Amino acid sequence: MQYQKNKPTIRPQILSLICLASMSLSGCFATTQNPSPTTTPEPVSQVSDEATRTIEHAMGTTEISGTPQRIVVLTNEGTDMLVALGVTPVGAVKSWQGEPYYEYLSAELEDVPVIGDEFQPNLENIVALKPDLIIGSKVRQEQLYGKLQAIAPTVFSETLGATWKDNFKLYAKALNRETEAQTLLEQWDQRVANLKEQLGDQPPTVSLVRFMPGTARIYYEQSFPGQIVAEVGLRRPEVQQKNDFAAEIGLESIQDLEADHLFYFTFNETENRGEDTQNQWQDHPLWRNLAVVENGNVYQVNDGEWTSSSGILAANQVLNDLAKHILDETQN
């Protein structure tokens, strides 16, 4: 399967994700300041196909010749971002949920072989794919970097989640698709500005909760969804205003979830299911007595899109969900 050199438009299935909240956000990129992804200009490589580029990344520097055509990607975030750039990888790690990929990416990755998961990519399978670029992350595969670099030029981000924009730029540079990435980020900025304007001068507070097997977490400002919530100007309850990723909480701390709006997402493993924790919490009198619950402002959203993917397409879906629930509520 080859790297796609044709016009890097977002495919219809992906565009539909970004357009779900079009009515709430004054149209899906429907202003002259915010062009549709389908108007992305023809790709203009920053260097010729023959030139060698030096990419600085979390593990040092890597030299890449021209435009890579056979990419193996070792993170869910990276897979999302390649698809956004119009690139079909020759191999990818399994999504944390989905068979084998997240539902919102499955059509784009239908024929892409799985090469393990983020923590245990299969090196033999990677070798067999003959990649000319491997994209991963230090936080996941640091110990494998030397072996991966021996297979093909390898570029690692430092971490995942709240750093998604920096990672997107890094991957685009490695792919020789910086122009396309910049266009998508400009469109993102316009969507954020539109939503922020519609939320007004007194935006509501938002609580972010994840149910996992045996535990629950509050997600703070340095998480993927927390960073997006902050970017659009939504406020957090005072107890959740922490420059941190997340914290596990027990039922005794359930009052910390109180807010104008509560978004929750549930992670299920094959045998251990976060739904069990979710049901336990939501059946508890303390949950039912929360004002946000009594007011009907509690919304279940997709766990993969809100947390474990953390790519630019997932980020756009978070915007869709925020607009769908908060703007619909405030405008009705």
pLDDT at 18: 45
Gap between the Cα atoms of 264 and 199, Å rounded = 20
Instruction: Tell which CATH architecture fits domain 200-331.
Output: 3-Layer(aba) Sandwich (3.40)
* Tokens linked to 242: 């922490």
Report pTM: 0.85
Q: 137 CB contacts (<8 Å, ≥6 apart)?
A: 58, 74, 75, 77, 78, 118, 156, 157, 158, 159, 160, 167
Q: Could you tell me which of 314, 15, 26 has the C-alpha nearest to residue 194?
A: 26
Residues of the chain with pLDDT under 70: 1-50, 270, 329-332
pLDDT at 272: 76
pLDDT at 328: 75
Gap between the Cα atoms of 10 and 180, Å rounded = 11
> pLDDT tens, 234-243?
999 999 999 9
pLDDT at 269: 78
Gap between the Cα atoms of 244 and 279, Å rounded = 27
pLDDT at 267: 93
Q: Could you tell me which of 14, 122, 129 has the C-alpha nearest to residue 69?
A: 129
* CATH homologous superfamily of 12-188: Nitrogenase molybdenum iron protein domain (3.40.50.1980)
Please state whether the peptide bond connecting residue 37 to the residue before it is cis, i.e. omega within 30 degrees of 0.
Answer: no
Are 247 and 240 a contacting pair, CB within 8 Å? no
* Domain boundaries for CATH 3.40.50.1980 within the chain: 12-188, 200-331
